Amino acid sequence: MNPVSTVPHGEPRAPTSPSPGFAFPARPVAFIQAPRRMLVATVAVGLVAQGLLDRASWGVSFPLVILATLGALVALGGREAWERARPNAWLLGPVLVIAGFVAVRDSPWLRTLNVLTTSWLMLLLMHFWGGGRVQRLGMGGYPAVVLSSVGRGLAYPRVLAREAMDLASPRKRLPLLVPVLRGLLFALPVLMVFGMLLGGADVAFAAALERVFDVDLGDFVAESLRRVLGWLLCAVAAAGLLGHALRRRSSGEAGDAEEAPSERWLGFTEALVLILAVNALFLAFASFQVQYLFIGGASSPAPGYSYSEYARRGFFELLAVTVMTLGLVMGLARWARRESPVARLLFQVGTSVMVALTLVIVVSAMKRLVMYEDVFGYTRLRIFSHVFMVLLGVVLTWRGVTLWWRPERFAMGAHVAALVAVMGVNVINPDALIVRYSQVESSQVPKGWVDTALLRTLSADAVPELMRLYAGTPLLESALPVEACPEMTWPEWSVSRARACAVFGGVLPSPTRD
């Protein structure tokens, strides 16, 4: 009588023997095809990453590490893996563009944003390299997939080490090392005596010995340990990424099918009353905003408020209202019942009006921020706030569109809008924009006043604009960043640093090498 399988229904079965060529693991973290090739790839990527990223600042090093990781992935997976990855291969575009901006911009804010966004996209790409569709994810699906990729990827380094390395043989040969260690112990005093005598016999040989032993042993050990640990960390990260990308996908993973609709527990009447009440409040607020900020051509804050109070207080309150309204519209669309065609139409009209009124609130918040900037100029935080408000406006508009057409694509559109915003803020070059509008004409500040303390905190992105505006003026020396043209190794090279150094030296710098 044949034994009955005990594998639960829907659970993928592990193959009895690996098929020739490339194959995906049978279970998410328990099987690695060609483990020795994977081990070589992770060691190589780890060495490249440690060598390039172990710097005071990142430049061209970061996109090179991303390219090395993607090259290892394509080489390990082969043609079959690429065929599975093709529907989601468009993610390679924003990955390479945003990673490339690390080698263009020098602003620490932009560098952090670009590194985090590239890491986010890499985790998405690794999850969907073997199948599924990224556009099928819902709003909660994106963070869920990223966190799942991190969690599941942590198991691959241990599995890879177990399957790729035979640790039994070294343990068997360990007793043979004991005589060698004893021999070295006996040789050490003999070498010291002979070395002293030979050094006394030849001055050049003595100088060479002095250079060899003129090393701080503690610093040397600490530095070596730091480099080894850095390489291990990079290799572990590479093993997790590559292993997760080349796994066998289990059935029912995120992105395999469209997100299932949730249970609609909120009655239509209750939802409609809520929509109408919020719309009435927003309409009353919008009428005041249009009358004062737009029709009235406001050029000063409301009576009783300073510029700072009116802009800062109003901006953050309106930002909170906008975010909460977006969440409210999303929640109503997900949980409100609307069985009949009339109910669906009333719901779509009501929520579309809510979105339109919220866009007025977004414009009002931006108008307040512009009034403040006209007086006190730009900062990185104010520019990023502008970009975020524009992004919120685009997402709200897309939410209004998806109320009538393809509602399952709202999450995908919002994600693409966020990626476009990241690319846009890199193109804007916030540090150069701050310099361009550093001279403000207002009765609130002295004539010709420039915040040189702010300008000195900017990065090399601002140097060409500073030279263009203030060359030959007394302000230039006090406005230049502290490290306008820093010394750099070739992995730290970036377009902005090269341009900043070219402004001073007339030629592109010759980067120092290790």
- pLDDT tens-digit map of 379-425: 898 899 889 999 999 999 999 999 999 888 899 999 999 999 999 99
Residues 153, 413, 73, 31: is their CA dihedral positive or negative? positive
Q: Is residue 169 helix, strand or coil?
A: helix
Q: Does residue 124 carry a pLDDT above 50? A: yes
Amino acid at 61: S
Q: Which two tokens stand for residue 135?
A: 């556009």
pLDDT tens column, 221-272: 788 888 899 999 999 999 999 988 888 777 778 877 877 777 888 898 999 9
pLDDT-wise least confident of 88-102, 226-240, 359-373, 396-410: 359-373
User: Please, what is the Cα angle at 282 between 271 and 287, to 5 degrees?
Assistant: 150
Q: Are 116 and 124 in contact (CB under 8 A)?
A: no
Instruction: Flag whether pLDDT at 23 surpasses 80.
Output: no
- Whether residue 97 has pLDDT greater than 90: yes
**pLDDT the model gives residue 274:** 94
* Residue 30 DSSP label: T
Q: 3-class SS at 489?
A: strand
398 or 205, higher pLDDT = 398
Burial class (CB in 10 A: 0-12, 13-18, 19+), 131: middle
Burial of 288 (0-12, 13-18, 19+ CB in 10 A): exposed
67 pLDDT exceeds 60? yes
Does residue 148 surpass a pLDDT of 80?
yes
Give the pLDDT confidence score for residue 175 in this predicted structure. 73
CA-to-CA distance for 479 and 465, rounded, in angstroms? 11
Q: Is the pLDDT of residue 464 over 60?
A: yes
DSSP single-letter state for residue 135: G
Q: How far apart are CA 135 and CA 413, in angstroms?
A: 9
CA–CA dist 87, 89 (Å, integer): 6
Q: How far apart are CA 68 and CA 62, in angstroms?
A: 10
**Confidence band for 168, pLDDT divided at 50, 70 and 90:** low
Q: Tally Cβ neighbours within 10 Å of residue 144.
A: 13
Q: What is the pTM of this model?
A: 0.81
Note the pLDDT of residue 205: 75
Across 247-303, where does the E strand assignment appear? none
- Phi and psi (nearest 5°) for 512? -75, 145
Report the pLDDT value the prediction gives residue 12, as an integer from 0 to 100.
39
Q: Which segments of 231-296 are extended strands (E)? A: none
On average, the pLDDT of the chain sits at 81
Write down how long the chain is: 514
Scanning the structure block, which residue is given the tokens 């779509």? 348
Segment 311-342, tens digit of pLDDT: 666 677 888 888 899 999 999 988 999 889 99
CA distance linking residue 194 with residue 425, whole number of Å: 66
Whether the CB-CB separation of 129 and 247 falls below 8 Å is answered with: no
pLDDT greater at residue 181 or residue 344? 344
Residues forming a β-bridge with 512 = 489
Choice between 33 and 141, residue whose per-residue pLDDT is larger: 141
Q: Poorest-confidence range of 36-50, 151-165, 365-379, 436-450?
A: 436-450
**Percent of the chain having pLDDT more than 70?**
81
Tokens of 212: 């060899």
State in Å, rounded, how far the first CA of the chain is from the last one. 70
Q: Which residues of 147-168 are buried (b: 16+ CB within 10 A; e: fewer)?
A: ebbbebbbbbbebbeebbeeee
146 vs 138: CA distance, rounded Å: 13
The residue among 500, 505, 493 whose CA lies nearest residue 59 is 493
pLDDT above 90 for 217: no
Work out the pLDDT band at 95, boundaries 50, 70, 90: very high
Residue 25 one-letter amino acid: P
Return the pLDDT at 162.
79
Residue 468, Cβ neighbours under 10 Å: how many? 12
- Given a cut of 70, whether residue 9 has pLDDT beyond it is no
